[in-house]
Structures are given as structure tokens and as C-alpha cells.
Copies of this chain bind each other. A is one copy, B any other.
């Protein structure tokens, strides 16, 4: 029954830091971006994203691991266990060629999204 999710409206009322849903749909792309240069393990990706924004934005762990599973299922990343024999097992993720293709497409989509929203928000209501 309790509702804790921060919406844009809630944010306006309560000065919440950020409405998380605004990044919705971009999480996959962000993960692929982080994996472009080299393989990383899950928790590392979590930290990279958190730190890259100066702690301003954080993708929740649950969200991230769900994203990994989705990306893996779709063949955009491949997962393998690291050889940390002593404790703290780590699952590494590697971006596939398909993943890189999707990433390129997603960047184009992101650019289009920016253009569309910017256009709509700047609508002054031309006095036709």
C-alpha cells in the first residue's frame, strides 16, 4: 500500500533530488556504454555509474542486475565468472557485437529524444 517511488511531481513538492523514471529506458544503454571499453563485473558497473555522476544519480542494484539478465538473455552481453578462487565471486560482463550495434542505435535514439523533448518544451504556442 505504501508508495515510495519518487515521481516528477513528488520531486517538485518535496525537493527530492531526482525523479528516477526520467532515465527509464536508458539503463540498458548506459550499461552497454560502460562495457564498451572493457569487461566489468556487476558491482563495479554499479559503482562506475554512481561515481560518474558524482553520486548524483544511482541506478539501484536490483535494477542493474535485472538489466544484466535482460541484456544477457538478448545476447547483447555475455557473462562469465571470474577466477577469484578466494571469496567474493564476481560475474563479469562482456559486450557482444550485437550489443555494440544496439548501443550505436540507442545513441541515435537518445539524440532524437533530446531533440524531440527540447522542441516540445520550447513550444511557445505560436499565435496562428
Q: What residues of chain A have their CB less than 8 Å away from a CB belonging to chain B?
A: 8-9, 11-12, 18-19, 21-26, 28-30, 33-34, 36-38, 48-49, 52-53, 56-57, 74, 76, 101-102, 105-107, 109-110, 112-114, 116-117, 119-125
Complex Cα gap A107–B25 (Å): 19
User: In the complex where A22-B113, A120-B33 touch, is A12 in contact with B102 (Cβ < 8 A)?
Assistant: yes
**A101 is contacted by which of B12, B49, B101 (Cβ under 8 Å)?**
B12
B109 touches A8 (CB 8 A): yes
Complex Cα gap A19–B60 (Å): 23
When all copies of this chain in the complex are counted, the total is: 2
| Binding site secondary structure of chain A | helix
A53 touches B116 (CB 8 A): yes
B123 touches A23 (CB 8 A): no
Q: Which residues from B are CB-within-8-Å of A23?
A: 113, 116-117
